[in-house]
Amino acid sequence: MITHSDEGPDFDPDDPLTVILQPPAEYLGAPPGRYEEIRRGASRRRLLRAAAGAALTCGVAALVVLPLHLTTAGRPASPTVPLAPPPASSRSTTTPPSTTAPAPVTPSPSARPTTTPTRTPGTRTAEPSVTSVPSLVQSAAPTGGATPSRK
Amino acid sequence: MKRSREKAASELFAALYPRLAGWCRRLVDDDETAHEIASEAFTRLWARWTSVAEPRGFLYVTAANLVRDHWRKLERERRAVRRATTEAAVTPHPEQADPSVRLLVQSLPERLRVPILLHYYADMPIREVSVLTGRKEGTVKADLHTARELLRAHLRRSLDHTL
């Protein structure tokens, strides 16, 4: 074997270790057909590796693309946003019950008058009578307990 | 292109295989295992031909790893046999032609084994060993020195034992 020049001073040629560490080169010829066998094995392995690489790439691409696709596919489901205007129109149709709230506000005075006049002409007359006829209140005051209870 | 690559592969095989297989033979028990390891190293080399810059170094490092795996496997088998049968019934393996080399190198810690195998048995200069192992040249020299000291002590012990 080759004697290296960079081994250092502790490598004595008479050292038994030198004999062991520097054995004569040994050669072992390749059996017939071994070269072709190795080449076939290597190309098969290369193919496998390429296939595995392609599969991995496809997998990664699918992992990246699928969520994107799903989110874009999910968006059409959210066109609830475009549906927003229809709720506005349907609200107008549905809101009447809710808008009746304001409506009743206005009608209520009118309705009350319409209903109350028929119902309680007496009470109505009592209210106006409160404003218009202090004398009546004064007359009611003697009944007394009613006025504090009203207030 | 393909033909020139094939020719280069064939030349590389002719130049390196006998030596690599011989190197493996020194470290394992039989010719067949040595051929298997050398063939596997070449298969791995050509399976990634484009990405290997230094084929010789790659071959020897791969073979060294395969030899180490082979040793581990043997050791596991031996332990299993020992467990299965009584220790006395187990005769030691028939030793190979040059057992001292393997036993000595096997006695080294993993870290020191590869530089010894590459430097002394594969004739690689320290610079190349340092590139292959990813260690600095000074570190490789120190590792080789430590390995030699360990081997020397081991050898002395075994000589004392025989005397």
The pairs formed by B45-53 with CB atoms below 8 angstroms and a separation of 24 or more are: B45/A42, B46/A38, B46/A39, B46/A42, B46/A43, B46/A46, B46/B9, B47/A41, B47/A42, B47/A45, B47/A46, B47/A49, B48/A46, B48/A49, B49/A42, B49/B5, B49/B9
ipTM for this model:
0.70
| Of the candidate ranges A5-9, B52-56, B146-150, the one whose mean pLDDT is the lowest | A5-9
The Cα B136–Cα B144 span in angstroms is: 12
Cβ contact, residue pair B152, A11, below 8 Å: no
Helices H / strands E in chain B, number of each:
7, 0
- Residues in chain B closer than 8 A to A41 (CB atoms): 39, 43, 47
Residue A124 is predicted with a pLDDT of: 47
The tokens for B117 are 């195998």
Q: How many CB atoms lie within 10 A of CB A91?
A: 12
A21 — contact with chain B (CB < 8 Å)? yes
DSSP string across A98-146: HHTTHHHHTHHHHHHHHHHHHH-HHHHHHHHHHHH-HHHHHHHTTT-TH
Residue B34 is predicted with a pLDDT of: 93
Q: In angstroms, what separates the C-alpha of B152 from chain A's closest C-alpha?
A: 6
Cβ contact, residue pair A21, B42, below 8 Å: no
Q: A47-58, pLDDT tens digit by residue? A: 999 999 999 999
- Among A residues 121-140, those touching chain B with beta carbons less than 8 Å apart: none
Q: A4-55, pLDDT tens digit by residue? A: 444 554 555 566 666 666 666 678 888 899 999 999 999 999 999 999 999 9
The residue among A5 and B106 whose pLDDT is bigger is: B106
Cβ contact, residue pair A27, B22, below 8 Å: yes
- Residue A5 contacts residue B126 (beta carbons within 8 Å): no
- Residue B80 contacts residue B92 (beta carbons within 8 Å): no
Q: Is the pLDDT of residue B144 over 50?
A: yes
Cβ contact, residue pair B39, A37, below 8 Å: yes
CATH of B98-163 given 1.50.10.20, 1.10.10.10, 1.10.260.40, 1.10.3720.10: 1.10.10.10
A39 — contact with chain B (CB < 8 Å)? yes
The residue among B132 and A86 whose pLDDT is bigger is: B132
Which chain B residue shows the shortest CA-CA distance from A38?
B43
* pTM exceeds 0.80 for this model: no
Which chain B residue shows the shortest CA-CA distance from A4?
B125
Which of A150, A12, A45, A108 has its CA nearest to residue B42?
A45
Helices A34-74 and B2-27 pack at an angle, to 10 degrees, of 110
Q: What percentage of chain B reaches a pLDDT higher than 70?
A: 84
Residue boundaries of the structural domains of chain A: 35-76
Which of B78, B144, B42, B80 has its CA nearest to residue A9?
B144
- Range list for CATH 1.10.10.10 in chain B: 98-163
User: What are the Cα distances from residue A126, in Å, to A144, A151, B41?
Assistant: 15, 15, 115
Residue A111 is predicted with a pLDDT of: 45
Q: In angstroms, what separates the C-alpha of B83 from chain A's closest C-alpha?
A: 34
A13 — contact with chain B (CB < 8 Å)? no
The residue among A8 and B85 whose pLDDT is bigger is: B85
The Cα B20–Cα B14 span in angstroms is: 11
The Cα B67–Cα B69 span in angstroms is: 5
DSSP, collapsed to helix, strand or coil, labels residue B94 as: coil
Chains A, B: CB pairs < 8 Å: 99
Q: In angstroms, what separates the C-alpha of A10 from chain B's closest C-alpha?
A: 8
Residue B152 is predicted with a pLDDT of: 81
- Residue A39 contacts residue B9 (beta carbons within 8 Å): yes
